[in-house]
């Protein structure tokens, strides 16, 4: 049944579902009404399943977790953020979180699908025969999914803060969660993201330390920089040194920096490319 469509077609379909959630949500907000959370949740689930299928097919083609080029990295990060939303979004009881997640998922998916160059090179057997390296990479990118969700809740915090400060509380602002709820969600997401990234780096370090030359220096520096930055922000937030709007702004900026760092990490691998199966699975 999966073979009915190619991996990219499944991923286009997923992007379509995410876009549909975003558009119906936008229309509902323009009318000043909350959109149907059940209907949109089901659309998100449909998009998620399509994306899962696409990534599964790609993973089978490249013989491992599909993290070999910017397209795959963006798709995997989107999938991680959507996974988290579907698992914990219900607990947050915020239809706006679903709206923003759909927006992010649609943008990241469509951008990555629309730039063929990002998917021109496919690396097979990227992680060799060591499943721990693959686990390390997958976990690291999953933590980026958590940070993506953190960026969304930070954006929601800034919007809510703006609405309350500027005294524009009606219209679609009224569907945003409370300041305190968003702050609590942000701290929990940050702690979860840092924990996941820490475990990922610990697993990676176990294989990197005996053989430091096996990993490019740029990748090491970028990864550690992201980890230190998020860890520092978590420490400052728990120590109540960075709070409220400033905390939200920093989380947004850090996610943008973390996304950019993925470029550097990916570019650094070009020199160490081992195998390509360009066009092989299209």
Partner 1 sequence: MSAPHFFALGATHQTAPLAVREKLSLDAEAAAALHGELATVAGLREFALLSTCNRIEFYGVAETADAAARVEAAFCARQKFSVGEFEKFRLSLRDLAAVRHLFEVAAGLDSQMLGETEIFGQVKDAYAGAQAQGSAGPVLNRVFQKTFQAAKFARTHTAITEGRVSVANVAVDLALNIFGGLAEARILLLGAGEIGEKTARAFQSRGAGALTVASRRLERAMELATQLGGSALPFEQREARLADFDVVVGSTAAPDLVVSRAAVVAALRRRPARPLFFIDLALPRDIDPAVAALENVFLYNLDDLAKIAEQNRAAREAEIEKCRALLGTRAEALWRQVEGRIGVCSQADEAPNRPANLSSDEISSA
The footprint of partner 1 (CB under 8 A) covers 32-33, 160, 163-165, 167, 169-170, 174, 176-181, 183, 240, 243-246
Q: Give 25 or 70: the residue with its C-beta nearer to partner 1.
A: 25
- Separation CA 178–CA 7 (nearest Å): 40
Q: Give 36 or 83: the residue with its C-beta nearer to partner 1.
A: 36
Looking at the chain, the number of H-run helices and the number of E-run strands are 8, 0
> What is the rounded end-to-end Cα distance, in angstroms, of the chain?
17
Shortest reach from residue 180's CB to partner 1, in Å: 5
Judge whether 91 and 81 are in contact, CB under 8 Å: no
181-219 burial code (b ≥16 CB/10 A, e <16): bbbebbbebbbbbbebbeebbebbeeebeeeeeebbeeb
Shortest reach from residue 257's CB to partner 1, in Å: 23
- Separation CA 191–CA 123 (nearest Å): 32
Q: Give 61 or 232: the residue with its C-beta nearer to partner 1.
A: 232
Shortest reach from residue 136's CB to partner 1, in Å: 34
Shortest reach from residue 176's CB to partner 1, in Å: 8
- Separation CA 190–CA 146 (nearest Å): 8
Q: Give 90 or 169: the residue with its C-beta nearer to partner 1.
A: 169
Shortest reach from residue 32's CB to partner 1, in Å: 7
Q: Give 171 or 217: the residue with its C-beta nearer to partner 1.
A: 171
């Amino acid at each position: 049944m999966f073979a009915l469509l190619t991996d990219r077609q499944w991923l286009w379909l997923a992007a379509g579902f995410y876009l549909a959630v975003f558009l119906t949500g936008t229309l509902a907000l323009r009318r000043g009404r909350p959109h149907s959370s059940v209907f949109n949740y089901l659309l998100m689930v449909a998009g998620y399943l399509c994306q899962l299928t696409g990534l599964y097919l790609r993973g089978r083609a490249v013989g491992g977790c599909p993290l070999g080029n910017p397209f795959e990295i963006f798709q995997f990060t989107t999938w991680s953020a959507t996974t988290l939303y579907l698992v914990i979004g219900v607990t947050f009881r915020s239809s706006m979180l679903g709206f923003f997640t759909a927006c992010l998922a649609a943008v990241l998916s469509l951008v990555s699908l629309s730039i063929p160059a990002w998917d021109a090179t496919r690396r097979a057997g990227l992680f060799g025969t060591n499943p721990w390296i693959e686990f390390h990479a997958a976990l690291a990118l999953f933590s980026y999914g958590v940070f993506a969700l953190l960026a969304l809740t930070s954006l929601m915090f800034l919007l809510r803060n703006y609405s309350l400060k500027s005294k524009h509380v009606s219209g679609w602002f009224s569907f945003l969660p409370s300041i305190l709820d968003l702050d609590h969600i942000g701290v929990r997401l940050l702690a979860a993201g840092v924990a996941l990234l820490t475990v990922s780096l610990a697993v990676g370090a176990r294989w990197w330390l005996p053989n430091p030359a096996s990993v490019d220096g740029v990748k090491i520096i970028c990864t550690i920089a992201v980890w230190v930055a998020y860890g520092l922000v978590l420490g400052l937030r728990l120590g109540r040194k960075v709070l409220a709007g400033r905390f939200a702004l920093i989380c947004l900026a850090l996610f943008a920096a973390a996304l950019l760092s993925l470029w550097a990490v990916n570019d650094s691998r070009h020199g160490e490319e081992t195998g390509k199966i360009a066009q092989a699975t299209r």
